[in-house]
Amino acid sequence: MATAQAQPNIALIKYWGKRDVSRNLPAAGSLSLTLATLWTRMKVEFSADFDRDRLLVDGEVATAMLPRVSRCLDRVAGGNRPCALIESHCNFPIAAGLASSASAFAALVVVANQACLEAEDIFEPAVLAAANSRTTLDLARLAGAASGSAARSLFGGIVELAASDDNIDVSTLLPSQDWPLRVVVAVTERGHKPVASGDAMILSEKSSPFYSSWVENQDHDLQVARSAVKTRDFDKLAAVSEHNCLKMHSVMWTSRPPVVYWNRGTLACMEAIRDLQSAGQAVFFTMDAGPQVKAICQPDNEALVMKTLGEVDGVEAIMNSGLGSGACLLDDS
Ligand code: 2P0
C-alpha cells in the first residue's frame, strides 16, 4: 500500500471557467502558491480481492465523492483496473474553499500511480509501462482532469498553469525558498460550500455578462503577476492579485442565480486588511470558492496579520503557512 501527501494551493490569478467540460480543460491560465503546512494524505491499495472501490475520508465512508475518485483512478490505472481501497486524511476543513480538492486529487494521482507499480502482478504490462514513465507534468494533467486546481499542487512554490486549446502546462515559476511569502488563512465558516465550484463556473459562463471579458483579460493579469514574481515585487503582485480576485467574484455575483461565497466575516477581514495596508503593511487578500480570507504577507508582519485577523468578528480560526513543495510519496510507502 502506497501513501502520498499533497498540499493545497491558493490561486492569485484564478481559474474560473472551462474551455472543455468533458476534458476539464480550463478556459485560461492561473498562478498559485503551494502551501506547506496544510495537507491531504492519501493511501491506495488495489486488490483482485476487492469487489468495489471504497473511499474513507478521515475515517468515514464517503459515498458522494467516490464516483469522481473512481474516475480519476480509471485515468491513472486503466478502465479494467482492479478495485481499490482509498483512505484520505486532511488536516484542514474539506470543501470549504480551502482547495481540499486540489490537494486530494494531486495526492491521489501520485499514490495511485505508485500503487499500480506495487501491485504489478494484477496489472497489464501497458498500464505498468505508462505508470513507470509518467513525469510530474503527466501526473499534473491527470490530476487536472479530475479537478482543475489539483494540477497546480503537483508543483511547489509559486506555480503557473498555462492553458492551451487541447492541454495544460504546469511548472514552478519560483521555488518556495526564493521568496518566503506567508499565507494567513482566516476561517469564517467551516461548513461545506453551497455550490460546487465546477457547477458554479459553468453557470458563470452561461449567465454572467462579464464572463467573456474575464477570460480575455487573464493573459494580461498572468503576465503582470509573472513579472512581479520574477522581480519579487510585492506591491505589484498585491495589486494584480486583489484585482483578479475581485473580478472573479464579480463574475460569480453577476451569474444567474448569483453565486455568493462570502459572508460577513469575509468582508470584515477585507476591511481589516485594507486598514493594515493604510498603515503601511505589505499584505493583500484573496478569496476563493468559499468565505475564508487568505492574507498574503511577509515573515516580518505575519504575527501582526494573524493577530489582526484573529480579532475580527466572525473569524473562527486562524491558520498560517509558508510555501511548500509539490505532491510526493511518503517514506512509508
Ligand atoms: C482556483 N478555484 O484557481 C479557483 C479560484 C476556486 C476559486 O480552482 O471543476 O475545484 O474540479 O476543475 O479545481 C476550484 O476549482 O474545479 C478552483 P474543477 P476546482 O483555485
Distance 294 CA to ligand 1 centre (A): 15
Distance of alpha carbon 76 from alpha carbon 219, whole angstroms: 31
Nearest to 81 by CA among 119, 28, 133, 109: 119
Distance 315 CA to ligand 1 centre (A): 23
Sign of the alpha-carbon torsion through 150, 151, 157, 158: negative
| Bond preceding residue 26 cis, omega within 30 of 0 | no
Ligand 1, pocket residues at CB < 6 Å: 11, 14-16, 24, 30, 99, 101, 147-149, 197-198, 288-289
Distance 14 CA to ligand 1 centre (A): 8
- Ligand 1 atom index nearest CA of 101: 10
Mean pLDDT value across residues 208-222 = 98
Asked whether 245 and 286 are in contact (CB, 8 A), the reply is yes
pLDDT at 93: 72
Name the closest-CA residue to atom 11, ligand 1: 147
Mind listing the pLDDT tens digit for each residue in 222-252? 999 999 999 999 999 999 999 999 999 999 9
Pocket test for ligand 1, best of 288, 292, 294 (most atoms within 8 A of CB): 288
Distance of alpha carbon 81 from alpha carbon 248, whole angstroms: 39
Of how many residues is the chain composed?
333
Mind listing the pLDDT tens digit for each residue in 56-102? 999 999 999 999 999 999 999 999 999 999 999 999 877 656 778 89
Model-level pTM?
Answer: 0.96
Name the closest-CA residue to atom 7, ligand 1: 288
The one-letter code for the residue type at 200 is: A
CB atoms within 10 A of CB 271: 12
Burial of residue 165 (CB within 10 Å: 0-12, 13-18, 19+) is: exposed
Residue 9 DSSP SS3? strand
Distance 200 CA to ligand 1 centre (A): 10
Pocket test for ligand 1, best of 101, 203, 287 (most atoms within 8 A of CB): 101
Asked whether 289 and 261 are in contact (CB, 8 A), the reply is yes
Pocket test for ligand 1, best of 23, 147, 242, 287 (most atoms within 8 A of CB): 147
Distance 64 CA to ligand 1 centre (A): 18
pLDDT at 192: 75
Mind listing the pLDDT tens digit for each residue in 132-191? 999 999 999 999 999 999 999 999 999 999 998 899 999 999 999 999 999 999 999 987
Asked whether 305 and 276 are in contact (CB, 8 A), the reply is yes
